Structure 1
Amino acid sequence: MYFSFGYCQVGQMMKIIEVLGMPPRLLLEKSRRWHVFFERTVDRTYVPKAACQQPGSRRLSEILGVNTGGPRGRRLHESGHTPMDYSIFLEFVLRMLTFDPARRISPAAALGHRFFRRSNSNPVPSGANVLQSGQCDSVSNAPGVFYLKSTN
């Protein structure tokens, strides 16, 4: 199961709602564009304009494959892909996807999140290339490890 977004803004919003649930009412009331995505009912609640699965019906933990070795089990039994590794990643992603900007993780706090901390199980290999703008080599499969593998 993949976390695929729709092909337009409305489709993207509906996919987000399926996973994260409805945005808080107060946040929608502050938005200048709520009417693009939602209808306001007589009792001042909001409903999605487009069809989507029940809000909050898809679990990000299932999409990421937290307990199955990654999406569709593709990384099962690989180093750096334990349920604990994916749980840390899940917590990190959920903090970034928090609707309320006041409660969302800041960029500085995100960089200090434990997801990015190296451990003995995922050390940076000697001779690893430094990523430069425009380069695209083989990237590590370990969650939270973004160095390039040595191509020498």
Structure 2
Amino acid sequence: MSIEIINGDITALEVDAIVNAANRSLCGGGGVDGAIHRAAGPELLAECRTLGGCDTGAAKITQGYQLAAKYIIHAVGPVWYGGNKNEEELLRACYRACLELAKDYQVETIAFPAISCGSYRFPIEKACEIAIEVIKDHLLEERNLKVLLVCFEDKISRTYSRILDKK
């Protein structure tokens, strides 16, 4: 079982797949989503337009285009509304959907951003706990998968580290 926490630019990683914290349209946005679309080039937007969007809690896969990653898994995490709109289960479903696509496409290395932790305002502690719980459960069966948790803030990497140390 392999989970590694790194601070850095997810668009620069040489992995089989990176996960994009996407919006439902899959047509780009701010934060990680915008950075991935800019780095991958216009072909990514063209392919995303053919996918018909994506529901919250689900994921879809595209080619990586100009990225070092072969694939981009576009995951639509939930917006945090205070915890009363099934946000936790939707975030779990989002991570599971990414990991299932990784399995289907024989991905051996995958890099995740902290889904829903930026403009979607999901509480960082809760989001990190959910991510690690779902990933660790998946790694019990998919032992050859290497997972990178890519952080854009030290606060998130410290939270991941603390949670991993406890489990």
Quick check: TM above 0.5? Answer: no
Compare the two structures and name the one with the higher strand fraction: 2
* Structure with the largest fraction of helix: 2
TM-score by length of 2: 0.27
TM-score by length of 1: 0.29
Which structure has the larger Rg? 1
Higher RCO (CA < 8 A, seq sep 6+): 2
